[in-house]
A and B are shown apart, each in its own frame.
Chain A
């Protein structure tokens, strides 16, 4: 298995296009994610953000273009060869996508159970992951008895447990109240700053995107704190989609000073 070098991107899209029985959903998308980098993908609902995320780990195949994941071309890779690669990625789905017939413990430990890890080690690692998201008391519950926000946090614990090399978040705060959204964003900031895991986060909520960029996780205080005024996280950058095309790729400073009319409208 190829491991990306320091300079090689963890994920690189090159002129990627995809369509489903109609006009292209994504057209000529080119961007990359460097090691340690967090990229926030912005755009209105229905613009193809989730499709782009599913292309990133081979859940969907592009019609054209190249996608390199951990240095390997995945756009034409057979499904059975993709499975080992996907075990290195943590993905948080829009609605959590927890297995409703399994307990929280078995959901979080799903990958470890498939790898036939010892029960004792599973319990230890599940507890560690659930403590990370603040839900250790839910270990024996079923997803149906959890609130929407709790389900999302369990999904994050499931994505984190394997210490992935890349994290994909599909609208992790979509449909949640502001307090719960902040809790989720705090977890993402914590993962970014503690484990330096590269990630691609899809959202249409500007507030979450700005919070990610202007806050850091303070290990001493054990919580997310704002960065000094005028400072932003240099490793958190933005992408914006409109009508299937990537219309922006840059830092927060570039974003707020962009003169693209759609970006301006979106920000306003």
Chain B
């Protein structure tokens, strides 16, 4: 009995991965053939990008602040409080900015995408769309994926900037250190590979957030309860995938840029 359950669970996982891979491939390749829905891309960019700005801005600012607070205590033991700016900017840009933004956007948008599409499935709106001759993959999925990729890129830059700003505020107003030194260290320590590493990650995170949200939304079964289940699966799986892919990307990027 237990073996059967394990076997069935394993099969379900393999099938889900297979379905997700095919789904992602179709959604991605749709961009290179007509019809394309530019207005939907712009609407989704507004919902995902502009709508997420405040949470990204606040989380970035306070994460930078916490980094400065925590690091100052440790760095003081070595008489190295002068490098707080370097520590905050490198950590924010290379790691915390992209990952934190990805997870915040996943919490807000993977859930909203999954619940929106899930509701459309259970009320037959997706079938109605297909019956009207419109491909839901092109109309709903592809614009969301590309809007999420492009917006997450810019949101990460916002999070990085406000993280450094938050670190600066804590350094100046709470740690009573020199602001000019903080910002000049934060700027001087940055190298192009750091920027590349920080800006490659959101491209993957954006793809994960939208594709996982759409995938679980369109697979919804079981009425309103099913919509709730899809929403939870979308948020949990996209968040875990973001962290997993971040780890793999970091490994690859560190190998590509060994000097950093």
- Partner-B contacts on A (CB < 8 A): 54, 57, 59, 79-80, 83-87, 89, 91, 93-95, 97-100, 110-111, 114, 158
A83 to B130, CA, bound (A): 7
The answer on a CB contact under 8 Å between B123 and A97 is yes
CB neighbours (8 Å) of B129 from chain A are 99
The answer on a CB contact under 8 Å between A100 and B123 is yes
Q: A93-B128, A97-B128, A99-B128 are in contact. Are A83 and B123 (CB under 8 A)?
A: no
- CB of B132 within 8 Å of the partner chain: yes
CB neighbours (8 Å) of A86 from chain B are 130-133
Q: A97-B123, A100-B123 are in contact. Are A91 and B128 (CB under 8 A)?
A: yes
- CB of B46 within 8 Å of the partner chain: no
- Complex interface residues of chain B between 126 and 152 (CB less than 8 A to chain A): 127-135
CB neighbours (8 Å) of A89 from chain B are 131
The answer on a CB contact under 8 Å between A93 and B133 is no
New A-B contacts (13) at CB < 8 Å, excluding given A59-B130, A99-B120 = A59-B127, A80-B135, A83-B133, A86-B131, A95-B123, A97-B123, A98-B125, A98-B128, A110-B132, A110-B134, A114-B35, A114-B134, A158-B132
B127 CB contact (under 8 Å) in A84, A93, A158: A93
CB neighbours (8 Å) of A98 from chain B are 125, 128
The answer on a CB contact under 8 Å between B124 and A97 is yes
Between-chain CB contacts (< 8 Å), 30 pairs: A54-B127, A59-B130, A59-B131, A83-B130, A83-B134, A83-B135, A84-B133, A85-B133, A86-B130, A86-B131, A91-B128, A91-B131, A91-B132, A93-B131, A94-B124, A95-B124, A97-B123, A97-B125, A98-B125, A98-B128, A99-B125, A99-B128, A99-B129, A100-B123, A110-B132, A111-B132, A111-B133, A114-B132, A114-B133, A114-B134
Interface size class on chain B is 10 to 19
CB distance from A109 to the nearest CB of B (A): 11
CB distance from A96 to the nearest CB of B (A): 9
Q: Which 8 A-B pairs have the closest CB atoms?
A: A87-B133, A97-B128, A97-B124, A91-B131, A86-B133, A83-B133, A111-B132, A93-B124
CB neighbours (8 Å) of B135 from chain A are 79-80, 83
| Closest partner residue, chain B, to A80 (CB atom) | B135
A19 to B128, CA, bound (A): 22
CB distance from B121 to the nearest CB of A (A): 11
A230 to B82, CA, bound (A): 100
A196 to B85, CA, bound (A): 77
- Complex interface residues of chain B between 29 and 59 (CB less than 8 A to chain A): 35
CB neighbours (8 Å) of B123 from chain A are 95, 97, 100
A91 to B123, CA, bound (A): 15
CB distance from A252 to the nearest CB of B (A): 29
Chain B 96-130 per-residue mask, 1 if CB under 8 angstroms from chain A, else 0: 00000000000000000000000010011101111
| Closest partner residue, chain B, to A54 (CB atom) | B127
